[in-house]
Amino acid sequence: MKQFRTNDLILKTTTTIIAFVILAFSIYLFLAGHNAPGGGFIGGLMTAAAIVLLYIAFGIGTMARVFKWSSTTLIAVGLLTAIATGIGSFLFKQPFLSHTFGHFHLPFVGDFELATAMLFDLGVYFTVIGVTMTIILTIADDQNEEKSELG
Amino acid sequence: MLHLVIFIPFLFALIIPLLRTKLSNIHLGWFVLAVPVLLFTYFISFLEKMIQGEKIHSTLNWIPSLDINFVFVIDGLSMLFSLLITGIGSLVVLYSIFYLNKKENLGHFYFYLLLFMGAMLGVVLSDNIFVLYMFWEFTSISSFLLIGFWFHREKSRYGALKSMLITVFGGLALFASFLLMSITTGSTSIREIILNSEAIINSNYFVLILILFLLGAFTKSAQFPFHTWLPDAMEAPTPVSAYLHSATMVKAGIYLVARFFLVFQGEQLFAIIVSVFGIVTLAWGSFMAVRQTDLKGILAFSTISQLGMIMAMLGFGAGYENKVAIVAAVFHIFNHATFKGSLFMVAGIIDHETGTRDIRRLGGLYTFMPITATLAFFGTFSMAGFPLPVFNGFLSKEMFFKAAILDNVLDISILIPILAVIGSIFTFVYSMILFFKPFTGKENMLDRQPHEAPIGLLVSPAILVSFIIIIGLLPNIISEPILAPAVSAINGEIPLINIHFWHGFTNIPIWMSFTVVVIGTLLFRYRDKWTPFYNVFPGRWSAANVYDYLVNNTFTFAKSVTSFFMTGSIRNYLSIILGFLIGTLAVTIYITDGFAVSYDDLAPITWPVAFTGITMVFASIATIFMKNRIAAILVLGVVGYGLSILFVFFKAPDLALTQLIIETVTVALFLLCFYHLPDLTKTKESLSRKTLNIVISLSAGFIVTIIAIASHSFKKFDAISEYFIETSVSLGGGHNIVNVILVDMRGLDTLFEITVLGIAALAIISMIKLRKKEEVDS
């Protein structure tokens, strides 16, 4: 299959721009989730979409060199983050998964709200990325293998 | 002390493996023999107290909260049975020492035998019905193990299974009856139940209690038509047949009827059922016994018939003014144990010394085995009820005739004595066959030269035969210590027992006995002339055939039922599941009158919403008619995107976003996977099948719609959402209520949902990456 690979120049160029726009939007969705539509789940899906686009444009081989993290590790990291947030509330003698929030004044930004729920959402975010990437890459990889076997 | 005594057999059974390995050069039976002998002397020591009418109580708590305790009571009836169990138990163990080779698996044999002995003592001594039931099942299990002792033989396994199925069936019926008894009387003690027998008789369940109770007793005591397991149980080693299937276990049912006699006494139904089944069993068992060619087969049917006779006497006794019947029953229990035990041992000796039990091959053994022949002579003639004072069987048989004449439970009571005489005639015939066929006549073809049995084998039957003679001559020596307390335990009255041999010619029973002897002799003499009758007689409706038919057809029926609906077709299962769903929901709605339409609180229908909805409907209908998989997925995608538009209209931006992306991802994944599947082929389905599918899907959709409408109309409480709206900012610190609910208020749900996602991803990896290479190739 490799010898017939076409040079998708336009796709690659637009991808480099669009992927980062999508990534930025997904991070916005994730961060804004507590007050506006969005959150860990949608943000994670969107990030995964950006990465998938990169995979389509550059192929698995290139991405494997750039992107060192295995997607299953992301699942584990995400789940651990979510559980650790829940367990963290034990430190303050609170029930599992109790959340708190506070307002802080930061330079440049002004009034900024930080909530422990964001940490939990970060876990969701990582897990969703990991799961989506795992599913798509596993199936896609398998099809490539099969094609090369058949070919 | 009494508790220890009952548990001794169990405790001793536990050390048998130890004895077997440590002392392998001495026959294990010698050690085991100590147990029944010890117990027998222990029970004998109570005889004095029994005569004075005392009872011995003993209680050990087991489950006090349920009123289930080891309460053991010795009274006259328990005493009689305990003496039989331990006495004949001792003789059987002694006999088995010489009968069984040391190469046999003796550890198993004596283990089972002791288990049985302890269980049987528990049955006859328990006052608590549930403890009694426990020991009752123990006897079934140990009997099963003993019948299947030579488990490498097909017929042993068949017989063991058959006896197990039938006796356990009866045991469970008995358990149900006990439960009902304890519910109606509020007690688990037999003695208290007897005191409260009014409660049982007047309860609505009386007939049920009685029938279940008698099912238990009849199956165990091999009454017609449940007698069929006993002839097949003859595959057990002969000591087992002698012990379990003549003297003890098969009398457990008799014991039960006698024990609960005071509860049902005077009830017409009880008297009729027990006496009719007893008398039918007597006639049928003796009739069938003549047909047998196997020594143990004859003895098995003879046991059935004698048990029927005892049962019938108990039934007669339940009628009024028939006091002699109970005395006769108790007397015959004792006598039957003596002569049947000795006869089984004789059959075992013949088998042991000649290698066969087939009466067609045996003959002229008297010259070789004179002692055995003498023992057999007393056994068989006592069983036949031959009128000579040395045979105890004659005495009890004559009392049986007397009881049969006095019987007044049935309107057609004249049939009862007639059936009794007919049964006794056949009893006479098979007893004669049993004695004359093997011991007289010409010597037949035997594989080896027969010779007299070793003395050890002869001791046990000789002791039993000596009982036959002693009681035949002096029947009153057991009447005061054994019979009278037993009778008083059964019907609550202390009888004056004086058993005579000779009543004079004015008595009807003596003429009945003479009739039996004369006709019996004639029938035996000319048996060649009439036995072909048995060949004409159809065996199809015999209980054994009915049993086989039932067992086999249960298997085939279960198999056909299973293969009818467990087709392996997922489509069928889905039809069944949906069918049940529709059925239960429809019935529930119909019964509870649960359907209502309320137009309150409905959102206005706007044009964009209506348009989106109609588009989704068209798309979903179109999906059904798609001929290409990819096209079907894409059209299905329209429904998904339509849904996300609906979310937008109904102001759920988070849901709309999520639905949009998820729909895209699933469509993409579908496309990836379906790429591999073959094209949709039009499956040719029958019209009825198609109609069924349409009906099921339409009604499933209809019922869900109905429920959705009804559930909207029955809003009984305000929604909890007000709370979330109010506290989202103050408690959660966020303005996005959906997100605050997801991560803060109900974070636990989210935690497990992402876990589900993680597991799904790992499952996909393991399905795709870790499958075997061969599967890929094929």
Q: Is the pLDDT score of B546 beyond 80? A: yes
In sequence order, the 6+-apart residues with CB closer than 8 A to the CB of B657 are A29, A37, A38, A42, B644
**Local confidence pLDDT in tens for the 151 residues of chain A:** 455 567 788 888 999 899 999 999 999 988 888 888 888 888 998 898 888 888 888 887 787 787 777 888 899 999 999 898 888 888 888 888 787 777 777 676 666 677 788 888 899 999 999 998 888 888 777 766 666 655 4
Mean local confidence (pLDDT), B523-541: 71
Query: Given this model, what pLDDT does residue A1 score?
Result: 45
For an interface test with A, the pick among B647, B671, B676, B757 (most A C-beta atoms closer than 10 Å) comes out as B757
The closest alpha carbon to B693, from B579, B584, B616, belongs to B579
CB contact under 8 A, B751 and A127: no
Residue with tokens 């690979």: A5
DSSP B258-279: HHTHHHHTT-HHHHHHHHHHHH
CA distance B410 to B408: 6
CATH architecture, domain B566-718: Up-down Bundle (1.20)
Instruction: Of B28-32, B116-120, B715-719, give the lowest mean pLDDT range.
Output: B715-719
Q: Is the pLDDT score of B776 beyond 60? A: no
Residues B463 and B338: beta-carbon distance below 8 Å:
no
Q: How confident is the model at residue B320 (pLDDT cuts 50, 70, 90)?
A: low
In sequence order, the 6+-apart residues with CB closer than 8 A to the CB of B148 are B156, B157, B159, B160, B161
Q: How confident is the model at residue B417 (pLDDT cuts 50, 70, 90)?
A: confident
In sequence order, the 6+-apart residues with CB closer than 8 A to the CB of B729 are B735
Of A115, A136, A142, the CB nearest to B733: A115
Reading the block at residue B606, the tokens are: 């706007």
Distance from the Cα of residue A76 to its chain's centroid = 13
Q: Is the pLDDT score of B433 beyond 90? A: no
Residues B298 and B289: beta-carbon distance below 8 Å:
yes
Q: What single DSSP character describes residue B244?
A: I
Q: Is the pLDDT score of B148 beyond 50? A: yes
B178-182, B626-630, B714-718 — which one is most confidently predicted on average? B178-182
CB contact under 8 A, B733 and A143: no
**Closest approach of chain A CAs to the CA of B772, in angstroms?**
13
CB contact under 8 A, A128 and B754: yes
Q: Is the pLDDT score of B435 beyond 90? A: no
Measured between its terminal Cα atoms, the distance across chain B in Å is: 74
Residues A63 and A70: beta-carbon distance below 8 Å:
no
Q: Does residue A121 belong to the interface with chain B, where contact is any CB pair within 8 Å? A: yes
For chain A, what is the mean pLDDT? 82
- Give the pairing of strands B68-74 and A110-115: unpaired
The angle subtended at Cα B659 by Cα B653 and Cα B661, nearest 5°, is 105
Give just the sign of the alpha carbon dihedral B307, B308, B312, B315. positive
Mapping DSSP onto H, E and C, the string for A94-121 reads CCCCCCCEEEEEECCCEEEEEEHHHHHH
CA atoms within 13 A on the CB side of A60: 14
Query: Given this model, what pLDDT does residue A151 score?
Result: 45
CA atoms within 13 A on the CB side of B205: 16
Of B657, B751, B768, the CB nearest to A138: B768
Which residue would you say has higher pLDDT here, B151 or A97? B151
Q: What single DSSP character describes residue B773?
A: H
Q: Does residue B736 belong to the interface with chain A, where contact is any CB pair within 8 Å? A: yes
Of A34, A97, A131, the CB nearest to B758: A131
CA distance B377 to B383: 10
Q: Is the pLDDT score of B684 beyond 70? A: no
DSSP B418-467: HHHHHHHHHHHHHHHHHHHHHHSS-----SS---PPPHHHHHHHHHHHHH
Query: Given this model, what pLDDT does residue B529 score?
Result: 77
CB contact under 8 A, B761 and A131: yes
CB contacts of A41 in chain B (<8 Å) are 658, 742
Residues B435 and B363: beta-carbon distance below 8 Å:
no
CB contacts of B670 in chain A (<8 Å) are none
Instruction: Of A4-13, A139-148, B656-665, B697-706, give the lowest mean pLDDT range.
Output: A139-148
Reading the block at residue B14, the tokens are: 């536990």
Mean local confidence (pLDDT), B82-109: 88
CB contact under 8 A, A40 and B764: no
Which amino acid is residue B712, in one-letter code? H
In the three-class reduction of DSSP (H, G, I as helix; E, B as strand; rest coil), residue B359 is classed as coil
Reading the block at residue B445, the tokens are: 């073809």
Q: Does residue B579 belong to the interface with chain A, where contact is any CB pair within 8 Å? A: no
CB contacts of B751 in chain A (<8 Å) are 82-83, 86, 97, 120
Q: Is the pLDDT score of B711 beyond 80? A: yes
Which residue would you say has higher pLDDT here, B447 or B21? B21
Query: Given this model, what pLDDT does residue B444 score?
Result: 63
Reading the block at residue B515, the tokens are: 């009739």
**Closest approach of chain B CAs to the CA of A147, in angstroms?**
11
CA distance A114 to A93: 20
The model's pTM is: 0.79
Query: Given this model, what pLDDT does residue B412 score?
Result: 61
Residues 443-472 of B with CB under 8 A from A: none
- Give the pairing of strands B68-74 and A101-106: unpaired
For chain B, what is the mean pLDDT? 84
B87, B569, B587, B683, B712 from B582: Cα distances, Å: 67, 20, 8, 26, 20
- Torsion-angle region of residue B718: left (phi > 0), alpha (psi -120 to 50) or beta? beta
